[in-house]
């Protein structure tokens, strides 16, 4: 039986008041024994406010990024221990916006993944191809290179406990969602890549989310795919109602 993970990545959006209101609305809608794992990734400056609004709810906090060094002269950066201190359970690493806009390399993502795991944060590692790469037939090669470069020498056991998010760059923020078949094809490829690099158990246990223009209207058909274990939601997570619509689509998939 799948355990879905639905995460809302606000990116650089909302203000403090909106973050608190979102947290209160979601907290009041989600029962303690909700069958879906629910995660919110606010901007780091609002982690504490959102976390307080979600106190006593099963919704977990995630950061959108972190730095791999434990402390020191790294102006503007935030360590894994600081995120744990604020109540984070997860951290998104290697998001395509960080890879493409801020120039993050696989090597840097790998250092961050190791530091996150050492601090007992669960990494949500993002991979995905651009439109040009897809059109050139390079999708599998690109995600394979990103998995190898970003996960590196983790143990199969460490891989089995983390989250991978397949986010095709062409589907992010464009409204052009991958078809369920396109998502399933890459998710299945990712499991084969992970089985070859680690082992069968790691490949089956790791949860693979799909991200890119997920909305309440298209979530159910994506989540119904055998290898899709959840969604990483950007724009449609900014309003609590629409985020809750996606969470409900996941719950309905479990109990149609």
Of the candidate spans 67-75, 103-111, 140-148, 230-238, the one that interacts with ligand 13P by CB under 6 A turns out to be: 230-238
The answer to whether residue 212 forms part of the interface with ligand 13P (CB under 6 A) is yes
The answer to whether residue 213 forms part of the interface with ligand 13P (CB under 6 A) is yes
Q: Which of 198, 235, 246, 249 binds ligand 13P (CB under 6 A)?
A: 235
Residue 210 in tokens: 């799909």
Q: Which of 42, 51, 168, 234 binds ligand 13P (CB under 6 A)?
A: 234
The smaller minimum CB distance to ligand 13P, of residues 112 and 198, is found at 112
Give the torsion sign (CA, 247, 249, 252, 254): negative
Task: In angstroms, give the least distance from the CB of 245 to ligand 13P.
Answer: 13
* Residue number, nearest CB to ligand 13P: 234
Cα distance between residue 211 and residue 232, in whole Å = 5
Q: What is the DSSP string of the chain?
A: ----EEEEE--S---HHHHHHHHHHHHHHS-TT-SSEEEEE--GGGHHHHHHHTTTSSPEEEES--BSSSSSS-TT--BHHHHHHTTEEEEEES-HHHHHTS---HHHHHHHHHHHHHTTPEEEEEE---HHHHHTT-HHHHHHHHHHHHHTT--HHHHHTSEEEE--GGGTTTS-PPPHHHHHHHHHHHHHHHHHHS-HHHHHHSEEEEESS--HHHHHHHHTSTT--EEEESGGGSSHHHHHHHHHHHHHHH--
Q: Among residue numbers 162 through 181, which ones bind ligand 13P (CB under 6 A)?
A: 167, 172-173
Based on the residue annotation, tell me whether 95 is a catalytic residue of this protein. Answer: yes
The smaller minimum CB distance to ligand 13P, of residues 51 and 234, is found at 234
Based on the residue annotation, tell me whether 167 is a catalytic residue of this protein. Answer: yes
Cα distance between residue 111 and residue 160, in whole Å = 18
The answer to whether residue 211 forms part of the interface with ligand 13P (CB under 6 A) is yes
Task: In angstroms, give the least distance from the CB of 32 to ligand 13P.
Answer: 26
Of the candidate spans 47-55, 132-140, 229-237, 244-252, the one that interacts with ligand 13P by CB under 6 A turns out to be: 229-237
| Cβ atoms of 245 and 237 closer than 8 Å | no
Q: Which of 4, 5, 6, 9 binds ligand 13P (CB under 6 A)?
A: 9
Single out the catalytic residue among 18, 104, 129, 167. 167
Single out the catalytic residue among 95, 97, 129, 187. 95
Q: Which of 6, 50, 147, 214 binds ligand 13P (CB under 6 A)?
A: 214
The answer to whether residue 116 forms part of the interface with ligand 13P (CB under 6 A) is no
The answer to whether residue 146 forms part of the interface with ligand 13P (CB under 6 A) is no
Q: Which residues bind ligand 13P (CB under 6 A)?
A: 9, 95, 167, 172-173, 211-214, 232-236
Residues involved in catalysis: 95, 167
């Amino acid at each position: 039986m799948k355990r879905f993970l639905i995460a809302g990545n606000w990116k650089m959006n909302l203000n403090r008041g909106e973050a608190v209101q979102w947290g209160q609305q979601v907290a009041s809608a989600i029962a303690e024994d909700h069958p879906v794992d629910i995660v919110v990734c606010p901007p780091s400056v609002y982690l504490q406010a959102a976390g307080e609004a979600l106190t006593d709810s099963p919704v977990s906090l995630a950061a959108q990024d972190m730095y791999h060094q434990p402390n020191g002269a790294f102006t503007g950066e935030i360590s894994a221990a600081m995120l744990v201190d604020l109540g984070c359970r997860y951290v998104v690493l290697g998001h395509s916006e960080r890879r493409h806009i801020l120039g993050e390399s696989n090597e840097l993502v790998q250092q961050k993944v190791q530091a996150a795991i050492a601090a007992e944060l669960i990494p949500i590692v993002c991979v995905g191809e651009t439109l040009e790469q897809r059109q050139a037939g390079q999708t599998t090669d690109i995600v394979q290179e990103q998995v190898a470069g970003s996960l590196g020498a983790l143990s199969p056991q460490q891989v089995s406990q983390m989250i991978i998010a397949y986010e095709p760059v062409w589907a992010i923020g464009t409204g052009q969602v991958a078809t369920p078949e396109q998502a399933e094809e890459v998710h299945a490829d990712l499991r084969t890549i992970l089985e070859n690099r680690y082992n069968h158990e790691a490949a089956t246990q790791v949860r693979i989310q799909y991200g890119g223009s997920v909305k309440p209207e298209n979530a159910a058909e994506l989540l119904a795919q055998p290898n899709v274990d959840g969604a990483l939601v950007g724009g449609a997570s900014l309003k609590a109602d629409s985020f809750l619509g996606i969470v409900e689509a996941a719950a309905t998939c479990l109990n149609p």
